[in-house]
């Protein structure tokens, strides 16, 4: 059987793969580009389903859903594709119930639960410490951060145990960690946490839904539309669904990409699936190292270090997050932090002293 020949093959039709295809297409419309997607839909970790709503049926996001004005790349893409955003609805009373069935159910109206003065002081100091450390992090290459090894050898949990005093704050950090990262503080490298916060413009900017914060906007009709619109631009005929890549072999001239049914030859391959899934593509019969899939060595191609291969193979999904935005400086978080402290002090004065200002 003769293999089909392409300039670039992209593995994965999520936002990364389809954006790569779209950008390549814009740069050179003559390039023969093929996107191979294992599932029977595009979008990857963004998926929007129609479910019943008060006003009839509505599209709901079940994966990635928020964007913010400071995530300039995705905002430009939304505009380019003719999509619209709307502000995250965040007014009204919110309810928080943590600490087990016997714990008090609390309500609050700010974007972060109301805290006692002691916990607020604890939070203020912790935010200051985290922000100071975040400011030292090299977002593009966290390993270039001063003390990278030390910061990476501790977890968010171990840092919080050393630097937060109140049980309530520790509990709140756990809630944030689970809701933002999908994992416990004890499962996350502290360096990764600092890098993620720095990229979002600070910890509060990562947590809040006010302007400039990570949960600022949603996309009308759902985020999966981004991928659907990109697939249209790239051409649906160039996106093959239900085509899970099983192996990638590379020699001096070609890369050979195989799925269960087809074999393709190409000059370049872009792999956009999460590293542990890329590792599984290595061989149809056994899970070998990412090394094998990315650079099956037949000559001069460099290979990943065994340490990196091990990290990729061992890391399950929740150990990988994609950075969506990069802010510069610390001004953004400071303004949110001050606004938050002020709103808390106001609430406290209202409740305890019976006056507002």
Ligand X SMILES: Cc1cc2nc3c(=O)[nH]c(=O)nc-3n(C[C@H](O)[C@H](O)[C@H](O)COP(=O)(O)OP(=O)(O)OC[C@H]3O[C@@H](n4cnc5c(N)ncnc54)[C@H](O)[C@@H]3O)c2cc1C
Output the smallest distance, CB 299 to ligand X, in A: 24
Judged by beta carbon, residue 148 or residue 277, the one nearer ligand X is 277
Judged by beta carbon, residue 12 or residue 222, the one nearer ligand X is 12
Output the smallest distance, CB 324 to ligand X, in A: 4
Judged by beta carbon, residue 159 or residue 196, the one nearer ligand X is 196
- Which x/- pattern over 230-259 shows residues binding ligand X (rule: CB under 6 A)? --------------xx--------------
Judged by beta carbon, residue 120 or residue 230, the one nearer ligand X is 230
The answer to the question of residue 44 lying near ligand X (CB under 6 A) is: yes
User: CA-to-CA distance for 225 and 231, rounded, in angstroms?
Assistant: 10
Candidate residues 274, 279, 333, 337; the one interacting with ligand X per rule CB under 6 A? 274
Output the smallest distance, CB 312 to ligand X, in A: 13
Which stretch in 21-29, 34-42, 146-154, 247-255 sits in contact with ligand X by CB under 6 A? 34-42
16 labelled ligand-binding: yes
Which stretch in 14-22, 25-33, 119-127, 167-175 sits in contact with ligand X by CB under 6 A? 14-22
245 labelled ligand-binding: yes
Q: Cβ–Cβ contacts within 10 Å for residue 152, how many?
A: 17
Q: Is 334 left (phi over 0), alpha (psi -120 to 50) or beta?
A: alpha
The answer to the question of residue 277 lying near ligand X (CB under 6 A) is: yes
Candidate residues 8, 11, 160, 294; the one interacting with ligand X per rule CB under 6 A? 11
Which stretch in 59-67, 79-87, 333-341, 348-356 sits in contact with ligand X by CB under 6 A? 59-67
State how beta strands 85-87 and 106-108 pair: unpaired
The answer to the question of residue 266 lying near ligand X (CB under 6 A) is: no
Contact yes or no for 45/223 (Cβ under 8 A): no
Judged by beta carbon, residue 188 or residue 245, the one nearer ligand X is 245
Judged by beta carbon, residue 304 or residue 347, the one nearer ligand X is 304
User: CA-to-CA distance for 181 and 86, rounded, in angstroms?
Assistant: 24
User: CA-to-CA distance for 279 and 19, rounded, in angstroms?
Assistant: 22
User: What are the residues binding ligand X (CB under 6 A)?
Assistant: 11-17, 36-39, 44-46, 63-66, 244-245, 272-274, 277, 281, 322, 324
Q: Which residues does the annotation place in the binding site? A: 16, 245
């Amino acid at each position: 059987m003769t293999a089909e020949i392409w300039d670039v093959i992209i593995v994965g039709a999520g936002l990364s793969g389809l954006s790569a295809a779209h950008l390549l297409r814009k740069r050179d419309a003559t390039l023969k580009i093929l996107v191979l997607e294992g599932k029977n839909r595009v979008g990857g970790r963004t998926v929007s389903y129609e479910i019943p709503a008060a006003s009839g049926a509505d599209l709901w996001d079940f994966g990635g859903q928020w964007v913010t004005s400071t995530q300039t790349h995705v905002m430009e893409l939304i505009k380019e594709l003719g999509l619209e955003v709307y502000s995250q609805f965040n007014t009204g009373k919110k309810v928080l119930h943590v600490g087990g069935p016997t714990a008090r159910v609390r309500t609050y109206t700010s974007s972060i639960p109301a805290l006692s003065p002691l916990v607020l002081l604890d939070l203020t100091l912790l935010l200051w410490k985290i922000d100071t450390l975040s400011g030292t992090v090299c977002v593009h290459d966290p390993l270039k951060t001063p003390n990278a090894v030390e910061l990476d050898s501790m977890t968010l949990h171990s840092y919080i145990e050393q630097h937060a005093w109140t049980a309530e704050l520790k509990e709140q950090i756990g809630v944030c960690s689970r809701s933002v990262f999908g994992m416990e503080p004890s499962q996350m490298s502290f360096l990764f946490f600092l890098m993620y916060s720095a990229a979002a413009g600070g910890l509060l900017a990562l947590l809040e839904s006010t302007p400039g914060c990570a949960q600022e906007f949603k996309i009308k009709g759902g985020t999966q539309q981004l991928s659907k619109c990109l697939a249209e631009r790239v051409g649906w005929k160039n996106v093959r669904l239900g085509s899970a890549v099983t192996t990638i072999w590379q020699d001096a001239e070609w890369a050979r990409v195989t799925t269960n049914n087809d074999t393709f030859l190409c000059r370049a391959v872009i792999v956009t699936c999460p590293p542990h899934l890329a590792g599984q593509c290595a061989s149809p019969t056994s899970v070998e190292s990412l090394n094998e899939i990315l650079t099956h060595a037949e000559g001069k191609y460099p290979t990943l270090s065994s340490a990196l291969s091990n990290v990729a193979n061992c890391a399950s999904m929740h150990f990988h997050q994609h950075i969506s935005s990069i802010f510069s400086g610390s001004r953004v978080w400071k303004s949110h932090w001050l606004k938050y402290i002020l709103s808390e002090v106001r609430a406290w004065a209202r409740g305890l002293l019976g006056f507002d200002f």
